[in-house]
Every structure is written in structure tokens, then in C-alpha cells.
Amino acid sequence: MSTTNNINININSDRENSTTFADSDYNSTAYNAYRPTYPSQLYSKVYDYHASHSSSFSTALDIATGTGYVAKELSKKFQQVYATDISPVMLSSAFRSSNIQYSVSTAEDLSQFQDSTFDLVTIGQALHWFDREKFFKEVWRVLKQSGTLAFWGYSFNVINGYPTATKKCMKLGVETLGDYWDPGRLVVDNMYKEVVIPDKLFRNIIWKRYEFDEKEGQMSNGESLLSEEWSVERFKNYIRTWSSYKNYMSKYQKENQKVEDPIDKLFEELEKEEGWKDDQILKISWPFVLAFAEKK
């Protein structure tokens, strides 16, 4: 199979199915630098599930790869990895490897790939943006017999030991920036509970959810699969990668209106109330959902 460090810009997309992350002015460098990274435990769960019904670790496809976080890890396990994203801007910052080939396309149109090509297809933090009916049919087509589909997502962060700060961060995302998310955000906030994996196409369907129990102040299914120890400044930069923040600020800039930065305002409050300093380390966790399915 061919490998390349270049990106195949064959765009099978339209703006109707696009997201803010595909905008030409989205800061892909900041996204790459400040988003949380998935732990080895997550990939172990994916590989263990796949090995339970298949011995082949030849080819993998990561859809909505962004800057190649997941593709990078898959390239350590699979001989050849393909990775697609709707955004050339995101792919311009993607991790490079001799056994990863990137291309631009929507999740619903994988026509560049032949039937029964992949052992594994993954989607991290993106299924909620898709036309799921079209997507499931298309991913079924490109998977090999008994191939694995694995996808996951995470919701608003929890700041361990700081319940008031956690509520204020959620309020920022849900209320202040609530109208500025792309359609689909509520699907991941609800831990994909409305997502139905079609059992006519897939079997051995498994769901794992690590939800935050506000009353207990902890995850309901043990420790989350996604946690980080970040400085306050690092955490602030992460929130600036939210698509809703980008849309919020862009709206007022286009209208030439002055607007107070809601993230600066929030962290000024938290620094006074919690005594935070920019270099203080916070332990941050995200409610997390993980799903597996085997192609029939």
C-alpha cells in the first residue's frame, strides 16, 4: 500500500455537514497543543475487544482524525493506518508517520476505500457531528468481516476538588456559549444515549459510560478514562479550543462589537474565589463514553 507524508486533498464534503473545526480560520495548532490526549488504557480496551473476535491487525481507519491523535497511536499497532477529516486545516497540523495516510472526506462518504478494507475503524469525539444512519452503513461497508467499530466521546470537564468551579465551567459551556455550539453537541453531553448501533449490521455491541454523579461528586463507573493534571493556564487554553468559544468571539468581531472575553471573566472570578494561580496544578476529568461493535 502507498504511504505518504502529504495529504490527499480530495474533498468529499459540503458545508451542510461541516463543523466549526473545518473552518479555514480555526486554530488547529492550538487544538493540537491543548486538547486532552487519550490514555493507553483506552487503546488496550479497543485492542482487547478486537482480539476477542479477530487476529488481524493489518489496516485501520481513523475517521474525523483532527490532528491525528488517534492515528498516531494506531500506527504503533497496525501495519497501515488511514485517517480522514473534513478539514484540511486540521490535517495540516497532523502527526506524520510513514505508515499513516491522510485524506480529506466526510464520515458519510468513504468512497475512496473499497469494500472490506479495514480491520478496525475508530472515531474519537466526533460521532455526534455525523449523519449516523449514513455513517453506520458506510463504515459497515469498509470494514472486513468481523472487523471492529470503536468510538468514544467526552462531555464537559470536572475539576476534582472544586465543585463550584466545575459548575461555573459547565455554566459557561451550557449557558453563555450554549447557542454557539454546532448541532450535535447535546448528543455527546448525553453520553450518546440516543445513538443506536444498528444490530442488522453489527453484533457484540458493548457500551461503557463513565458519568459524573454530581451528588456523590465522582464518576459513577469508577475513574474516568480521560483525566489530566494541568496548570490553570493550560486549562484556560484548552477551553479556548471549544468551537463554541470560537463562534462566540467571531460573531462579535464580524459585527465590530466589543465584547468581554467570557473565559477571561470566568478565570478572574475563579482566581479570586478559589485562590488559583496560573501555575497551580488541577486534576481534571471528563465524563466519558465508549462503544464497541463487531461487523456481522
User: Do 208 and 230 belong together in one domain?
Assistant: no
Residue 21: band (very low, low, confident or very high) from pLDDT cuts 50, 70, 90: low
Q: Is residue 221 part of a domain?
A: no
- Domain assignment of residue 238, given as a range: 158-182+226-284
Query: What DSSP assignment string belongs to 74-104?
Result: HTTTSSEEEEEES-HHHHHT----TTEEEEE
User: Do 102 and 206 belong together in one domain?
Assistant: yes
Rounded to whole angstroms, how far apart are CA atoms 188 and 204?
22
User: Do 20 and 63 belong together in one domain?
Assistant: yes
User: Do 279 and 132 belong together in one domain?
Assistant: no
Residue of 84, 39, 36 lying closest to 241 (CA atoms): 36
Q: Is residue 1 part of a domain?
A: no
Q: Is residue 169 part of a domain?
A: yes
Residue 3: band (very low, low, confident or very high) from pLDDT cuts 50, 70, 90: very low
Q: Is residue 137 part of a domain?
A: yes
User: Do 27 and 51 belong together in one domain?
Assistant: yes
Query: What is the per-residue pLDDT for 29?
Result: 79
For the segment 157-207, what is each residue's pLDDT rounded down to a tens digit?
Answer: 999 999 999 999 999 999 999 999 988 889 999 999 999 999 999 999 999
Rounded to whole angstroms, how far apart are CA atoms 57 and 144?
11
For the segment 257-279, what is each residue's pLDDT rounded down to a tens digit?
Answer: 788 899 999 999 999 999 999 99
Q: Does the predicted model carry a pTM greater than 0.75? A: yes
Query: What is the per-residue pLDDT for 20?
Result: 57
CATH number at residue 76: 3.40.50.150
Q: Is residue 129 part of a domain?
A: yes
Q: What does the longest C-alpha to C-alpha distance in the chain come to?
A: 58
Q: What number of H helices and E strands is found in the chain?
A: 10, 13
User: Do 188 and 237 belong together in one domain?
Assistant: no
Q: Is residue 92 part of a domain?
A: yes
